[in-house]
Structure 1
Amino acid sequence: MPDSGEVRRVDASQPADPDSQVRVFPVPPRKGELPDDIVRGFLEATTSDEADFSTARQYLTEEASENWDPFSKTTVLEDGPVPRMEPVPGDVPGKGAVAVLSGRQRASVDQKQAYKPEDSSYQARVHLTKVRGEWRIDGPPDGLVLGQSDFERIYRSVNNYYFAYPGKGGSDTGTGGDVLVADPVYLRKRVDLVTSAVETLLRGPGDWLDPVAATKFPRGTKIVDESLSLDDVGGLRVRLNDRGSRVGPLQCNQMASQLLFTVQDIASAQVKQVELADAEGARLCVVTRADAAAYAPAGLKDQHPEQQYFIDAQGRMASLPPGGEEPVRVEGPFGAGGVPLRSIGVARDERTAAAVSQDARKLYVAPLEEGAELGESLLTSEAPRAEDGLTPPSWDGHGDLWIADRDPERSRLLRLEGGTGEPQEVVVPSLGKGRIKSLRVASDGVRIALVVQRNGHASLELGRIEQKADGTGEPRLSVNDLRSVTPQLEDVESASWAGDSRLVVVGQESGVRQLLYVQTDGSVANTPTLPGANGVTAVAASEDEDKPLLADSDDGIVRLPAGAGWQLVTKQGSAPVYPG
C-alpha cells in the first residue's frame, strides 16, 4: 500500500469488480487544468459515492451547477465515456471549448430509477468556458454518463412493491388490491440505501408497470426524517407528512406492508415490523411480518411445501415430494398414463393440473386425486406438427390457466378462467408477426413472460396483462407493451420465473448455450452466476428463491439446491415444472 506520492486520476472506463468494496473519492479541479482534464475530472467525480455530487459540481460554472440534475437520467455505456476535444467555430480562441463524449449505449435509467436496455450509439457535446481564468463546464451532459463497470459498482437493483390491479383504469372489471408485485429500480449502494428505497417507493410505480399497479400512499406523501434505518430489533419507524397521515387503519396497514417488503429486499437482517407515524410522532399503525404476509407476492403467499413435477419415460406425470429422493407418480388420470403427455402445468394450490397430449394437439385439466377421471379435452389445436401445437400450460395466482396455440394458420394466446372455462383469446397488439413459442405467467396475474419467435430468432419478452371493459361492458384481456429482457442472447429456448422480479433462462450467446438469471427490466447486474449443466434444454424454478432449480439435461432431470452442485433426479424424464 503506497504511503506517499501524489493523487492521480484513474480513467473512468477502467473495468472494476462490481462487487468490490473499494470506494471512489472524487478529486476537485486543480488550478490551470486544461479543458480535457476538466471534462475527465468531472466524469470521474460522478462515479464517486458523494450523495450530492458536490465535487463534480466544482467542475461546472455556477449557473450550470444550479441547472444540472444528476438524477434526471443515467446513461450506461459499454465502456466509460472518454472525451474527445474538437474545435468550436465561433468561440473566441482560449475562451470556449467543446468535448465530444461517445460510446456504445447499453442501457438507461430514468428519473424514477427504472432500468431500460438499449443498444445504440451515444454522442453528447460538453461545452466549456473560462471563469476567472479557469476552465469550467457550462454545458454538461444530461444526467450521469457511466461505463457499465462503474454502473454495476455504484448501483444495485432494488424491488419496490405495489399492489397489482389487472383491471386498473378499466372501471369495475378488474380484481386485485390484495397482492404485491415487484417493480425493480436501480439505487446507489452506498448512499443511504434505505432512505433512497423508501423515497423511490413513494413516487409510485414505473411507467411500464403503472397501468396495472397502484400504491396505497396518498399523492404527495413524503417522509419527514432525513434518514431512515432499522433499529436493533429489526424495526423500521417512518414519520410521514400531513398528506401521508390522513389514512384509515386498513390503508395504513397496506402502506406499511409495501414498506416492509421493499426494505426487506435490501436489508441484511430480517425486517420484523414497520411503524408509521405522523409528523409529530403519533403512531398511525404497526405492521409485523405476519401481518404483511397477507399481501405477500402471490408466489410466496402460500407457505405449503411445493413439490417438483415432470413427465416420466412412459409419458406419465410424476412428482418429487419436498425432501424426497425418489419420484412417484401423481394420483389421478395424469399419473395413470391413459394419455401420453408432452407437457404439464400444476395449479399453485397443487390440487389440479393441466396437461398437453404428446402430439401437442389436446389440452386436459384434471384433479390430482385418486379416482379422478380425465374427461374431455378443453382445447384442440389443428396444427399438423407437434412443434406447432399447444405450448406448455401455465397458471396464475388467481387460478386461471394460460396457454398458446402455435398453429401457423391461427397462432393465438388463450386464457381459461378458473382452469375450466371457455378458452378466451387474449390480444397481444405488440406481437406483430411474432409467434409465441412458450409462456410463463407470474403469480400476480399482471405479468407474463413470453418466448417469441421473430425473423428466425427467439427472444424472451415481458408483457403486461390488462383487463378492461369493451364496448359491450364485457371484460377484454390484452397483453401490452412487450419488451425484451434478454437483449444479450441470440436465441432463447426456455424460461421460468425465479423470484419476484427475476427469471432463469436457457439461451444462446455467441453460439454458446447459457443458463443465467435476468431481471424483469432486462438487466443482469447483481444476479448470481449459475454453474453449467450438461446440455440443458429446459429449466424450471419457483418464485421462492430458496427452492432449487430444475432442468432437463442430457443427463436427465437434474436439480440445483442452494449452495450445491447439480444433482441427478432421474435419468429418464422431461418437462420439469414447479406449480404455476
Structure 2
Amino acid sequence: MPKVRQERSGDRESGLLISLTGKQLARVDGKHAYKPDERPFQTGIHLAQEDGEWRIDSPPSGLVLGVADFQRIYRSVNKFYFAQLGAGGDGQGRDVLVADPVYLRKRIDPVTSTVNALLDGPTSWLDPAVGTAFPPHTRLKDNRLSLDDSNTLKVRLDFGGHRAGQEQCLRMAAQLLYTAQESARVTSVTLQDGGGEELCHLDRDGAKYYAPERIAGRPDRVYFIDGRHRLVSLADGEEEPRRVPGPFGTDGAAPLRSVAVDRAERRAAGVSVNGQTLHVTELTAGATPGEARLTVHGGAKAGLSQPSWDGMGDLWVADQDPEHPRLLRLPDGTGAPQEVALPSLDGGRITGVRIAADGVRIALLINKGDRTALWLGRVDRRTSTSGEVRISVADLRPVAPRLVDVDGVSWAGGSRLLVAGSEQGGLPQLQFLETDGSASNSSAVPGITGVGGVAAPDTTGKAQALLAERDGALVRLLPDTNWKPVPGEGTAPVYPG
C-alpha cells in the first residue's frame, strides 16, 4: 500500500494536501491491459473543507491500489480475436483465435463486463496483429446479460446499421463463446439483432472449429535429447523414454543438440551437435535427414537456438552469432529461410525462441552481458502491393522484469508461460506467468531449484506433465505427484511446437 502523509495543515482557504508515496509495480490502462512498470510513485490529493467536512476537491485520474486489494478486486480474463496472417493466412489460419488478456472487476456483472470489453476491441499492443468479426461500433442492446437454464448466452447486438452474414455471425459467436467462458460456464451462444430476431446459434461442439487449442497439437507426449544425442519421447503414462523412429532417433544417423517436433507430430527439426546446421525430417522409419535447411557458423556459445513450430507449420529459429544475431522463419518448415525484422536488440542476441501456436506472439530469451531476459514480441505481417508478405517482430515487452536471469520458457496455454528464472541472489525456480507480465492464476509449481530448460503442454485444460532440465538430467512432474527423475540423461525438453 502507498504511504500516506499530510503535507500541510492549511485552513478553509488553503485546504489540506495529502501525499501518497510508494513503489509502483504495474499499470492497467483504459483498455484494461496490464503492464509491469516498476518505478517510484508519488502523487498528491488536495482536500477542501465544505460544511465542516474534508472532501477531495479535484480527484486525480485513475485508481491507486495496493497489491492485495488489486488481487481481491480484479481478475484476469482472456478476450479472443482472430489472427491476421497476411496473404498466407487463408484456410485454417483465417480462423485462429488469439488470447488477449485484460483485467476486469470480479463481482460487477462479470459476463456483461467481459462481453463489453470484447466489443471495445483488442488491447493496443495486440491490435496490429489481430482482427474482430464484429462490425465497427457494435454495442450491446441490453444493459445486462445472463445465461438461461441451459447455460445459453443470448446476446442482442446493435450493429450501428451494418448487416452481418451467416459466416460472419458464427465468427462473432465464436469470439463471444470463448471470451464469455472466462466468466461463466457457457454451453452455447445465440446472437440476435436489436429487435430480438435470431441471427445464428453456436454451441461448444460447433465452436471446436474455432477453438484456440485446435492448432496447438496433442499435449500428451514430450520429447527430448538423450545422453547419446538421439531424439526420444515420453508419454504421460510411460515410465521409460523410447527412441522415435527415423534418423534423429532409432537410426541414430543425425546426432542432435536440440529439437522441435511439429504440432501434428509428423516432422521434427533438429539442430546438429555443433549447433551449425538445421535438418528437417519425417518421424518415420527409413526417413533421411536430407540436406541441411540452414547452415551457420560460430563457436560453442553461438550457432542455432532450439527451433520452434507455429500451428500453421512454419518453423522459427535464431542464429546466435554475436556479431549478426538473426531471427529466421522457414515457411512450411522446409522453405528458404527468411530473416524476420527485429527491433534493436541493443547489443543483445536471441538465445531462445518459442512461437505461439497462433503465429502472432513470440517469446524470446535475449542475452545481454551476463543476463538473459524474457521478452514477448508481436509478429506483424504486412502484404505489399506485389502480394509479398513481410514479417517483423514489433513492440518487444518484458514478461518477467523481476527475474534477473531466465534460463528457459515454454508456452503453457493461450496466454500463459512456464518460466525458469531467478531473482536477485536466488536460485532458478519455476513459475507460471501471464503474457502481460502479471502473475498467473494457475496453481503454483511445487518447489524445485536449479532448473534450466523447461517444457509444458500448450493447453489450459486438464493438468499435464511438466519437464525440467537439471544438471544434464530431466525431472518430471505428473499431476498430483512430486517431482521425479526421468531415467537416463536428458536435455532440451519440448512438447510439440
Counterpart CA distance in 1 for 2:194 and 2:83 is 29
Aligned residue for 1:85? 6
Counterpart CA distance in 1 for 2:472 and 2:341 is 39
> Of residues 218, 240, 264 in structure 1, which corresponds to 2:135?
218
Counterpart CA distance in 2 for 1:92 and 1:84 is 17
Distance 1:190 1:277, change over 3 A: same
TM-score, normalised by the number of residues in structure 1: 0.81
CA distances 1:208-234 after superposition (whole Å, capped 9, x unpaired) = 000001111111111122222333322
Counterpart CA distance in 2 for 1:386 and 1:86 is 60
Structure 2 counterpart of 1:504, one-letter code:
L
Counterpart CA distance in 2 for 1:421 and 1:311 is 25
**Is the Cα contact below 8 Å between 2:236 and 2:465 reproduced in 1?**
no
> Of residues 98, 101, 118 in structure 1, which corresponds to 2:37?
118
In the alignment, structure 1 residue 535 sits paired with structure 2 residue 450: yes
Aligned residue for 2:28? 109
Counterpart CA distance in 1 for 2:46 and 2:369 is 43
Shift of 1:551: 1.3
Distance 1:495 1:304, change over 3 A: closer
Aligned residue for 2:110? 193
The 5-angstrom pairing of residues 1-400 of structure 1 reads: 80-87=1-8, 93=12, 96-167=15-86, 172=87, 175=90, 176-243=93-160, 246-267=163-184, 269=185, 271-297=186-212, 299-301=213-215, 304=218, 306-335=220-249, 336-383=251-298, 385-400=299-314
Counterpart CA distance in 1 for 2:278 and 2:88 is 27
In the alignment, structure 1 residue 403 sits paired with structure 2 residue 317: yes
> Of residues 340, 363, 374 in structure 2, which corresponds to 1:449?
363
Counterpart CA distance in 1 for 2:431 and 2:70 is 20
In structure 2, list runs of 5 or more residues that go unmatched: none
Structure 2 counterpart of 1:161, one-letter code:
F
Distance 1:272 1:296, change over 3 A: same
Counterpart CA distance in 2 for 1:303 and 1:474 is 29
**Is the Cα contact below 8 Å between 1:388 and 1:408 reproduced in 2?**
yes
**Is the Cα contact below 8 Å between 2:3 and 2:21 reproduced in 1?**
yes
SS of the residue 2:311 aligns to: coil
Judge which range, 321-330 or 258-267, deviates more: 321-330
Q: Which has the higher strand share?
A: 2
CA distances 1:182-210 after superposition (whole Å, capped 9, x unpaired) = 00000111111111111101000000000
**Is the Cα contact below 8 Å between 2:446 and 2:482 reproduced in 1?**
yes
Structure 2 counterpart of 1:138, one-letter code:
D
**Is the Cα contact below 8 Å between 2:26 and 2:35 reproduced in 1?**
yes
Rg bigger for which structure?
A: 1
Distance 1:238 1:150, change over 3 A: same
**Is the Cα contact below 8 Å between 2:80 and 2:118 reproduced in 1?**
yes
Number of aligned pairs? 491
Distance 1:256 1:245, change over 3 A: farther
**Is the Cα contact below 8 Å between 2:278 and 2:293 reproduced in 1?**
yes
**Is the Cα contact below 8 Å between 1:330 and 1:368 reproduced in 2?**
yes
Shift of 1:497: 0.3
Distance 1:525 1:84, change over 3 A: farther
Shift of 1:302: 6.5
Distance 1:327 1:474, change over 3 A: same
Judge which range, 129-138 or 482-491, deviates more: 129-138
Aligned residue for 1:11? none
Judge which range, 102-111 or 463-472, deviates more: 463-472
Shift of 1:132: 2.5
Q: Alignment identity in percent?
A: 52
Aligned residue for 1:552? 469
**Is the Cα contact below 8 Å between 1:555 and 1:571 reproduced in 2?**
no
Aligned residue for 1:518? 433
Distance 1:403 1:567, change over 3 A: same
Shift of 1:242: 4.2
SS of the residue 2:94 aligns to: coil
Distance 1:495 1:94, change over 3 A: same
**Is the Cα contact below 8 Å between 1:222 and 1:244 reproduced in 2?**
no
CA distances 1:141-181 after superposition (whole Å, capped 9, x unpaired) = 211000111111111110000001133xxxx5655431000
CA distances 1:3-55 after superposition (whole Å, capped 9, x unpaired) = xxxxxxxxxxxxxxxxxxxxxxxxxxxxxxxxxxxxxxxxxxxxxxxxxxxxx
In the alignment, structure 1 residue 425 sits paired with structure 2 residue 335: no
Shift of 1:95: 5.0
Counterpart CA distance in 1 for 2:161 and 2:190 is 13
Structure with the bigger RCO (C-alpha within 8 Å, sep 6+) is: 2
